Amino acid sequence: MIETQVEIAAPPSKVREVLLDSSRYPEWHTCLIHRLEAKDSTKTLATLILGDFIRCDIDGMKFDAEITENSENLFQWQGPPVAGLIAGLHSFHMLSTKDGSATILKQTEEFTGALAFLMGPSLLGRKLVGQYSRFNADLKRRVEELKLKDGSARRAWNAWTATS
């Protein structure tokens, strides 16, 4: 299993909002996940339910994956078997810290199949750990930048309305 995590100074709802707005990924992330979109064009990533499909372009691999959970704290899909030899269950866990002021984002991938052993952290999985960590860091930076912008705008508005 591959597992990476990062703490993000924002509540899970904000992390989820940015994570599921994949049309904006090119603004803040360009190296791993190039495309995640609902296969059904009438839906968004946020409205997908169990059994729906997403179109993925991850590090140049293009495939359709099945949503296995899409809840407040978990966005998860099952990738298709590659040549019948390996498949991955990819997950983004968004867990609130005890005081509710931050989110622990855990990105995991559990591999099954005859070649799953190759994806261990000491073999091919090492590359994935680096890529997932970079995605997590980019997501953290984006969420926290948006939080700062939102906070600055709110403070400016409050200051302006206080003097009016």
pLDDT tens digits, 14-48: 999 999 999 999 999 999 999 999 999 999 999 99
Predicted confidence (pLDDT) per residue in 38-74, tens digit: 999 999 999 999 999 999 999 999 999 999 999 999 9
DSSP for 73-140 reads TEEEEEPPPBTTTBEEEEEEEEEE-TTSS-EEEEEEEEEESTTGGGGSTTTTHHHHHHHHHHHHHHHH
Token digits of residue 146: 């948006």
Residue 117 CB neighbours (<10 A): 12
Residue 164 exposed, middle or buried by CB count within 10 Å (0-12, 13-18, 19+): exposed
Q: Is-contact 25 33, C-beta < 8 A?
A: yes
Q: Alpha-carbon distance 49 to 67, whole Å?
A: 7
Res. 160 pLDDT band, cuts 50 70 90: low
Residue 84 zone, left/alpha/beta (φ > 0; ψ -120 to 50; rest): left
* Residue of higher predicted confidence among 94 and 82: 94
Token digits of residue 31: 């190296």
Map out the domains of the chain with their CATH numbers: 2-159 (3.30.530.20)
* Residue of higher predicted confidence among 153 and 103: 103
Residue 2 has pLDDT above 90, yes or no: yes
Predicted confidence (pLDDT) per residue in 89-144, tens digit: 999 999 999 999 999 999 999 999 999 999 987 888 999 999 999 999 999 999 99
The strand pairing partners of 22, in sequence order, are: none
The radius of gyration of the chain from alpha carbons, rounded to an integer in Å, stands at 18
